[in-house]
Chain A
């Protein structure tokens, strides 16, 4: 593996959800880097049906938090990831409703979370919010829906010692099969 791969894996492995933030503001340049990370995420058909709204106004964040029970801490910035349903209808002509735009929200979100961590920011994806409530605060037009919020800020130090009752961590091996489902160890194959 080269250095770039090691560095990328290190960012991914060391990222954790942050729920407590300091009052230090997040510079706009960093927020722009996070938006860029979302923009360069994989997107089906290169459609890019997502839109991002970045909020730094403390009053707006407070209002968003009122409608977001999943937002346990008080962040310094919030990135909302939206889907433009008009664009999906126009450019993604599926017969049955497609989950693809939602998968694209996920790819954008993961890029953003990793970028935030690489920038030494804490982050947490939030799905527990009222779409109608937060949509009203952010003045979202009807053809868009907010699908995910990412809260951001400089992390407050927390005790991450392992809870004795915590379940055994899932390993990569647990999740991975080779060649057929349930074969958790790599076997030699003719290639």
Chain B
């Protein structure tokens, strides 16, 4: 009988990629909480106003960041902390300031992209520093 693949590294569901040596992004409980949140969001989106779907997605991102910070994922420039605070404030705009909320949705991916680019550049620099001849 083929051995069942082990997708679970201890109680860690997802590791932090290049930061995996410093800890995990999600514990198993947190990952299950996210799975519950995401599957429920999919179910209730069948009967809710369409723009609520966007609210669930950004709220999911906020919850994910919350878990990451709880687990000590590095946030040297405070980007994750600030993004979470921004989402938690502006997601509520969906109820009384839709244009402002939609603008926030349009702007956020560019900020995330900027952070990824910065982290990637920092990683490249750090790897170059490790090189020796």
Q: Which residues of A contact B (CB under 8 A)?
A: 19, 62, 66-70, 72, 128-130, 132-133, 163, 165-167
Contact = CB atoms under 8 A, between A and B. Distances in A.
Interface size class of B (residues with CB under 8 A): 20 to 34
A68 B40 contact: yes
A165 B36 CA distance: 34
Contact of A66 (B36, B43, B92): B36
A167 B96 contact: yes
A165 B41 contact: no
Contacts of B52: 128
B86 interface: no
Nearest to A67: B40
A72 B93 contact: no
Nearest to B52: A128
B40 A72 contact: no
B44 A163 contact: no
A128 B37 CA distance: 11
A69 B100 contact: no
27 contacts: A66-B32, A66-B36, A66-B37, A66-B40, A67-B36, A67-B40, A68-B40, A69-B37, A69-B40, A69-B41, A69-B44, A69-B56, A70-B44, A72-B91, A128-B44, A128-B48, A129-B44, A130-B39, A130-B40, A130-B43, A130-B44, A132-B43, A133-B36, A163-B100, A165-B100, A166-B96, A167-B96
Nearest to A137: B36
B118 interface: no
Contacts of B115: none
Nearest to B44: A128
A132 B36 CA distance: 11
Among A19, A62, A66, A165, max chain B CB count under 10 A is at A66
